[in-house]
Structures are given as structure tokens and as C-alpha cells.
Amino acid sequence: MSERAAPFYCPYCGDEDLRPSPEGHGAWECGACNRAFRLAFIGLLAAGLRRDDTGEDGAR
């Protein structure tokens, strides 16, 4: 299980200047807005994966 998932953009200001935070596991700091935040895995969705097989775009 990968615990190293990294955010690409700050969820608050959208900047890419993110670095791991010394606050600990899953914590990141944004150099643009000086916010620190934490990413956490909550769980799998009960509904499972959704597929759109309807093919309504007329590709065939």
C-alpha cells in the first residue's frame, strides 16, 4: 500500500510549491500560502468502481 501519494497542487491556493511537512505522516506545507495540511486515506467507496459503458458518443 503506497503511503507516499503526493499532492500536485495546494488545495487552498492551487500553487505547486508543496513540500513534506515536519509535522509528520501525510502532512504537507505550501510555500505559496504558508498553509500546512494533511492528506488521509478514508476508505474505499461502498458503491465500487463506476463504469460508463453506454457508448452514447456514437463512436461506432
Q: List the 27-30 sheet strands across, edge first.
A: 18-20, 27-30, 36-38
CB of 12 to Zn ion, least distance (A): 5
The window from 4-12, 21-29, 36-44, 45-53 that contacts Zn ion (CB under 5 A) reads 4-12
The candidate with the shortest Cα–Cα distance to 32, out of 11, 47, 46, is 11
Task: Give the bridge partners for 18, in sequence order.
Answer: 30
6 vs 13 by CB, closer to Zn ion: 13
Q: Residue 7 in contact with residue 18, Cβ under 8 Å?
A: yes
Query: What is the x/- site pattern for Zn ion, positions 14-53, by CB under 5 A?
Result: -x--------------x-xx--------------------
Residues that bind Zn ion (CB under 5 A): 10, 12-13, 15, 30, 32-33
